[in-house]
Amino acid sequence: MKLIVQIPVLNEAATIAAVIRDIPRAIPGVDSVEVLIIDDGCTDDTVEIALAHGADFVVRHTGRKGLARAFQTGIDTALRRAIAGTLARNVPASYTNIALMTAFLLDFGAARFREPAWQAKSEQLAAKILQRFRANRTFDEYNSPTYYAIDLYALALWRSYASSPALRAAGAEMEAALWSDIAQFYHAGMRNLAGPYDRSYGMDMRHYVAGVGMWIWLASGYARAPFPDLSQPFEHAWDFAIAPLVALLGAQIPPEALPYFLAFQGERQVERVIAAEPRRVAIAWLGPHLMLGAQDSSSSHVMNEQFHPATAHWQFAGEPLGWLRLRTSAPTDAWAERGRLSIVCAQPAGHDPTFVFQIAAEGVDLAALRHNHWALPGLSVRVETNAAGPPATRNRDLAEIRYTAPADGTNAPVRFTLRFEQEE
């Protein structure tokens, strides 16, 4: 992400160097910082001094236009630069959240600056996004607590502010379908989305800002929303910055989906085809106090820290929530059904043969985590596997159970079957 700091100036030669010097050029989460000077009719050396002390570029007014007009010039300049960068980047329709925002940016810029070529590119990209979505009624970046928020934000912009009728109609269609899909994976009693997660920064939405939690907040109210306690520090707090935009745009949730965000709607098995080639399927089972998530990607999904192909959440002793997830660098597929997760790594050779199950729950006893049985607070997990292990260790607030692929040289698939039984 690039940040452009705009400075409208009118005969500021005495102070402009100090102002530019105090602008931070390194900010966490920002790739680069540029300084834009808007010259509102200077008659001194302000511009020359600014350039000599680090200003990156200058826009000049022909005569004095006033502060408000200077700010508008700065915004328009930054917008044009953003569009130029967007066109050069040429984001594919499969990069869901960025593609959705790109289509709106081009539509908005085309209307503002009368650029019909931008409008054509916007509608071409929107048509590709819609075509991919209609294939399975899903986005490529599937079930992401953070990036679904950007999808909903972009789609709300499409349906409310796009100049193109095609974008407005497509935005409303995909927004309604996305809400219906989120509803099936959402457990109102646990205030969390069931896995699997294509891209997620956490596992418990009650303790970090997952953007989709702000959208659900609009439907459920804060007390029932999957959102942290605002009176305490919480993780990923910077994502809270989009809250005013979420509130202004408003959530348009289909009436049949709304009850799922207000109360648990009963045990269910959910299966969604994400892509046909290679085949990717998201599977979840949700019970009253336990939910399981899994993804079968035909061993095609790139394994990284944001992808969670096998997950479990459970509620015990009233309000406390426990969760577990699998971490591995080897391509791994998983399936979920009532009370059971099945996990297979078909080709462990050539990858780190370690399979780490991370567990978060109050009162976990490491001594109770054995090879074929994990005794967890409020939950018993029976483990069937051909992998070796496990040494159980503590990693900050998490318990970690490590298994390794069999060292017999056969490159046999590594398999796990986890059977869950909740304690009464």
What's the CA gap between 205 and 201, in Å, rounded? 10
Give the residue among 285, 376, 279, 372 at the shortest CA–CA distance from 335.
285
Burial environment of residue 248 by CB neighbours within 10 A (0 to 12, 13 to 18, 19 or more) = exposed
pTM of structure: 0.90
CB-CB contact of 405 with 416 (8 Å): no
What's the CA gap between 80 and 14, in Å, rounded? 30
Amino acid making up residue 94: S
Residue that is written with structure tokens 């969760």 in the block? 323
Rounded to 5 degrees, what angle do the CA atoms 212, 215, 218 make?
Answer: 150
What's the CA gap between 333 and 342, in Å, rounded? 8
Pairing of strands 57-60, 379-385: unpaired
What's the CA gap between 213 and 215, in Å, rounded? 5
Q: What is the pLDDT along the chain (424 residues), one digit of tens a residue?
A: 789 999 999 999 999 999 999 999 999 878 899 999 999 999 999 999 999 999 999 999 988 999 999 999 999 999 999 999 999 999 999 999 999 999 999 999 999 999 999 999 999 999 999 999 999 999 999 999 999 999 999 999 999 999 999 999 999 999 999 999 999 999 999 999 999 999 999 999 999 999 999 999 999 999 999 999 999 999 999 899 999 999 999 999 999 999 999 999 999 999 999 998 899 999 999 999 999 999 999 988 888 888 999 999 999 877 689 999 999 988 999 999 999 999 999 877 777 678 999 999 999 999 999 999 999 999 999 999 999 887 899 999 999 999 998 877 677 899 999 999 997 6
Backbone phi and psi for residue 180, each to the nearest 5 degrees, phi listed first = -65, -35
What's the CA gap between 77 and 83, in Å, rounded? 10
What's the CA gap between 367 and 270, in Å, rounded? 35
Rounded to 5 degrees, what angle do the CA atoms 291, 294, 295 make?
Answer: 155
